[in-house]
Amino acid sequence: MNRLLILIISLFFLNNCSLNENSSIWQNKEVDTKNPKNIKKVFSEKKVVTQFNQELKLDLSKIKINNKIVDNRNNYGIQDYSGSIEKVGIYKFSKLDDVNHLNFKPLFLNDGLIFFDKKGSIIRYDNNQKVLWKKNYYSKSEKKLKPKLNFALVDQNLLITDSISKYYSININSGELIWSKNNIYPFNSEIKRSKNKIFAVDYKNTLRCYNINDGSECWNLPTEDSFTISSSNFSLIILGELIIFTNSIGDVTAVDIDSGLITWQLPTQSSSIINETYNFKVSKLVSDNKSIYFSNNKNEFYSVDVRTGITNWINEINSNLTPITSGNLIFTISNEGYLYVVEKNNGNIIRISDLYLNYKIKKRKNVKPIGFAIGDTKLYLTNTDGKMIVVDLNLGKVIGVEKVAGNFTSRPFIFNQSLFVIRNGSIIQYN
């Protein structure tokens, strides 16, 4: 009788209880949060394997040439350079370590340029590559750390942040020290300025705001930190009363310049990126005052509204190179060596060109693009094999290759109708 009663109760239970994950019986069941159904998978590894619309010719005859020395939007655009890639000058300095991670830009002046050497010495050159002055404000122990420097020019003051936590100001004409301060952590970004303030981001993902006149801190804004140090520099842009910056985990944050309060924040990656920030790379932010454009090596190219931080569109382009905009077009190059031409308004890809088409398969796997610049109707791309590829932008075809160094170089820079490339121990100027 007891056995029969147990059987009846068991049958009743099975018929009235749904044995699925929604049943209350599964109170201790682990929930799978790795692949939530309502969130877009962002770590797509899809890669372009073919060219697209190769016969499409671009009309760049009415392009606007950008000759600005300072651009707080990082939007350098198409610049005035139609040279023949003829080497006309070499600015020499002591060799830098880790030139393959050289994300640093010389400060270009109408009468020369400023750069640094492996001991943190600041060197000012004239247009004939002659040294006008050389100054070093580091101790013996600090020199051994081989500080990397970022520059910003404010009137007659040269502002410097470095990779060993110092920031200071010197006179641009004499090189004499005006003031010097120390941050808690090393800096890992370019410098931007607005009004009487300068801005930089340190390795702890904290945006720092300093007074130009004496280096005192006006405010700081910490953002979420990561467990590892990023291998790429963070980016900042200034648009009106906003400063917008990136950090190591993919957040893009807009902040009021005066108060330091967040206006909006856009997380672009899942929390899993925190553990792999060293390999996570984001391009510089670029803006046309309406939208912000940037990409990363997780196969995402973003267009984001400046005012709201709302995403306009996302395209699948695997790149951490700074894009260039002109009119309604965006130019970028993927980490696999493909040149993309994208419509700015809607994100449509209108042409894809393989810039490594002539590389053998084995060599191609070992070559990566470093950065590019556009002068008139030609694109100049530097690569990890020390070569610079020249591309006809109208046709999307490679028309020349220039050997710059034995291996790594910097991205190319255009100033005063000359093209510059940094290699280990010198800056080469092309006419």
User: Which tens digits make up the pLDDT trace of 319-330?
Assistant: 999 999 999 999
**Do residues 242 and 256 lie in contact, with contact meaning Cβ atoms separated by under 8 Å?**
yes
| Average pLDDT of the residues in 292-315 | 96
Residue 28 has a pLDDT of 35
pLDDT of residue 375: 93
Average pLDDT (378-383) is 96
pLDDT for 246 equals 94
Per-residue pLDDT for 256 more than 60?
A: yes
More confident residue, 217 or 15: 217
Out of 5-19, 190-204, 372-386, pick the least confident.
5-19
pLDDT for position 49: 56
Distance CA 325, CA 409 (A): 23
Residue 89 confidence class, pLDDT cut points 50, 70, 90: very high
Residue 312's pLDDT is what? 97
Q: How far is CA 278 from CA 166, 202, 219, 291, in A?
A: 23, 15, 27, 27
What is the torsional sign of CA 119, 230, 239, 325?
positive
For residue 393, pLDDT beyond 50: yes
Burial class from Cβ neighbours inside 10 Å (0-12, 13-18, 19+) for residue 173 reads exposed
pLDDT of res. 270: 65
When pLDDT is cut at 50, 70 and 90, the band that residue 276 belongs to is low
pLDDT at 32: 36
Poorest-pLDDT segment among 71-80, 141-150, 197-206, 308-317: 71-80
In the structure, what pLDDT confidence band is assigned to residue 30 with cuts at 50, 70 and 90?
very low
* Spatial CB neighbours of 424, under 8 Å, sequence gap ≥ 6: 95, 96, 99, 405, 408
Kindly tell me if the per-residue pLDDT of 314 is higher than 60. yes
Mean pLDDT of 274-282: 69
Q: Average pLDDT of the chain?
A: 86
The reported pLDDT for the residue numbered 22 is: 36
Q: Calculate mean pLDDT across residues 190-204.
A: 94
- From first CA to last CA, the distance across the chain in angstroms is 102
Q: Which residues contact residue 244 at a Cβ distance below 8 angstroms, ignoring those fewer than 6 apart?
A: 236, 237, 238, 252, 253, 254, 255, 285, 287, 292, 306
Report how far residue 133's alpha carbon sits from residue 135's, in angstroms, rounded to the nearest whole number.
7
User: How do beta strands 149-154 and 329-333 pair?
Assistant: unpaired
> What's the rounded Cα separation, in Å, for the pair 405 and 385?
8
- How many other β-carbons are positioned within 10 Å of the β-carbon of residue 180? 13
Higher pLDDT, 365 or 142: 142
- pLDDT at position 125, please? 98
Q: How confident is the model at residue 24 (pLDDT cuts 50, 70, 90)?
A: very low
Over pLDDT 70: what percentage of the chain? 83
Rounded to the nearest 5 percent, the helix, strand and coil shares of the chain are 10, 40, 50
Report the predicted TM-score, pTM, of the whole model to 2 decimal places: 0.86
| pLDDT value for 407 | 84
CA angle 233, 120, 234 (to 5 degrees): 10
Strand segments (E) across 78-165: 87-92, 107-109, 112-116, 122-126, 131-135, 149-154, 157-162
Longest Cα–Cα distance of the chain, Å, equals 108
The helix/strand/coil state of 16 is: helix
Residue 14 has pLDDT above 80, yes or no: no
Q: In this predicted model, which residue has the larger pLDDT, 344 or 31?
A: 344
Q: What is the mean pLDDT of residues 92-97?
A: 89
Q: What percent of the chain has pLDDT over 90?
A: 70
> Of 62-66, 359-363, 425-429, where does mean pLDDT reach its minimum?
62-66
pLDDT of res. 226:
64
d(CA 103, CA 96): 12
User: Helix (H, G, I), strand (E, B), or coil: what is residue 271?
Assistant: helix
Per-residue pLDDT, averaged over 363-388, amounts to 94
Name the residue with tokens 């060219």: 51
pLDDT for 336: 94
Checking if the pLDDT of 29 tops 50, the result is no
Q: How confident is the model at residue 122 (pLDDT cuts 50, 70, 90)?
A: very high
